[in-house]
Structure 1
Amino acid sequence: MNSKFILSLCAASVITISGCTTVAEMAGADSSTLNVAAAQGFNKTVQEASANKTLDTSSATYKRINAVFLRLKPYADQVNQTGQKFSWQLAVLKSDQVNAYVAPGGKVVFYTGIVNKLNLTDAEIAAVMGHEMVHALEEHSKNKIGAQALTDLALNIGLSAAGNNVGQLGTAAAQLGSQVGIGLPYSRSLESRADQGGLLLMARAGYNPQAAITLWEKMNKLDGAGGSSFLSTHPSNSQRIEAMRKNLPTAQAIYNKR
């Protein structure tokens, strides 16, 4: 799977029926349904990655990502207001791709490239993890998921455009991506909410929220060199970083009280 594949999924859009009603809601895709479907997709991704020997469960990079995940998880549970208990799970995939995403119900997927290529500190890993966890906690994927026909359309468009370049990670990761909206950029308002919520979450877990700024500065630098697929689904620019700086005092106060 590569950046061309991810970008190709942008062709699939979510249809708004009226007001805030989406195809997902019309199709009965409530929180419980979405969480179950995401869990199935996540399990297939893990199984396929294991078979392809791209599932990382022992490297130093995996251990760092997992430690951050375990440290943030109880704080994420504390702010879960979805009405559904999350069964948080983490999959770390061996890939140079700079990316991470989360599926409904707390299924987090990290690519080793996002840590290794950016030389992330643990606090910067927490900034990515917190950002993605907030997307799940606020159920932002509901804004991107339509009826099964749209899910299939997203997958078919993505696989067709990718051709033989789907990559060694396999089609399960691609399918999960189409289901949860990876490649379908969140609106700036949802990204801002994930940024702000992520700052607070990492601060509660004892990670200095200043690291979120350095993370996105690294992302922007890599994006300028044409090397970040993460930014194809997570718009980042100077205005976004500036907005995060404005939210820092609240997060910093939480961090300083620990």
Structure 2
Amino acid sequence: MALTLRFTVALAAGLVAVAGHAVPLAYEPTGLAWSAQEVETSATPQALVIAQRAERAQQLGCRRHCERLDRIFTRLVAEARTQTARSQALPWSLTVVQLPDVDALALPGGQVLVSEAFIDSRALTDEALAFVLAHEMAHSILEHERQALTFARMLLAPQVARSVQDMYVEMDFNLSLLKAMEPVMQQGEFEADELGLLLASAAGFAPDRQLGFIEQECAQPAGPTPVVATHPRMAARLAQLRLRLPLARRLAAP
């Protein structure tokens, strides 16, 4: 028994934006355990912890990139709302911090966090920043957290009832479970890359320049292989993204 995350652009060769109409690019996940609300409620405290830590350190709020973050995020939200019934209803929000150990992340309920320290350290262009934010938003649209939790639940004894919080505790302490989830988590990153690229392209951000962030990361020395590799190698991500550039260019075309 297996759950496979999937993001396939149906009839990709013929998928284009026509006469200014929005193009749905995402699928609506089905057959998942727990409700979206249960997962959102359990994940929300993560953002609160980061925001509170930033506030205590006087590193909460936007200081240097406010105008462009607002402009980019507004355009991305407009596209995100065209994807699925759920993404249309999500209360999308962007929280900005200055913490040097935070880059960008999204929660299942549509809350996106980004650190200006991360933006500065990578010298992100508008296009690269749009890709980073759209990648995180794609995780929320595709309900990757709920998909991963469902897969993890399928690997455990079925006769034991478990809440979402139980699953998070299990994943914190069960290394073998996390190792078994590696392919699913990595596939989720490929999916978020793909949908993120297409979303940002549909929002008008040049696809080729979006790849600047991944290209920059590929140029850095590869670090040690982690015990649990939740993300694919950057080179593999870049190769997959380049395969989607022809479609992304068509979506970005005026």
Settle same-fold status: TM greater than 0.5.
yes
Please state how far the C-alpha of 1:120 moved relative to its aligned partner.
0.5
List aligned pairs for 1:134-173, cutoff 5 A.
134-145=138-149, 147-154=164-171
Please state how far the C-alpha of 1:205 moved relative to its aligned partner.
1.0
**Inter-CA distance 115–83: structure 2 relative to 1 (3 Å threshold):** closer
Q: 1:248 — aligned with what?
A: 245
Which structure is higher in RCO with an 8 Å CA cutoff and minimum separation 6?
1
**Inter-CA distance 41–190: structure 2 relative to 1 (3 Å threshold):** closer
Q: 1:20 — aligned with what?
A: 3
SS at match of 1:117: helix
SS at match of 2:193: helix
Distance 2:67 2:172 in 1: 31
Please state how far the C-alpha of 1:83 moved relative to its aligned partner.
7.2
Higher helix proportion, which one?
A: 1
Q: 1:45 — aligned with what?
A: 50
Structural RMSD (CA)? 3.3
Q: 1:191 — aligned with what?
A: 189
Normalised by the length of structure 1, the TM-score is 0.68
Q: 1:130 — aligned with what?
A: 134
Verify the 8 A CA contact 2:185 2:231 in the aligned structure 1: no
Residue identity opposite 2:185 in structure 1: S
Distance 1:112 1:123 in 2: 16
**Inter-CA distance 185–118: structure 2 relative to 1 (3 Å threshold):** farther
Please state how far the C-alpha of 1:144 moved relative to its aligned partner.
3.0
Residue identity opposite 1:140 in structure 2: H
Q: 2:64 — aligned with what?
A: 60
Larger radius of gyration: 2
Residue identity opposite 1:206 in structure 2: G
Distance 2:126 2:137 in 1: 16
Find 2:234's aligned residue among 232, 237, 248: 237
Q: 1:179 — aligned with what?
A: none
Verify the 8 A CA contact 1:31 1:84 in the aligned structure 2: no
**Inter-CA distance 233–112: structure 2 relative to 1 (3 Å threshold):** farther
Please state how far the C-alpha of 1:149 moved relative to its aligned partner.
2.6
Find 1:206's aligned residue among 204, 207, 215: 204
Please state how far the C-alpha of 1:189 moved relative to its aligned partner.
2.6
SS at match of 2:113: strand
- Stretches of 4+ moved more than 4 A in 1? 25-28, 153-157
Q: 1:78 — aligned with what?
A: 82
Please state how far the C-alpha of 1:62 moved relative to its aligned partner.
4.2
Q: 2:216 — aligned with what?
A: 218
State the number of aligned residues: 208
Verify the 8 A CA contact 2:42 2:165 in the aligned structure 1: no
Structure 1 gap ranges (5+): 1-17, 158-183
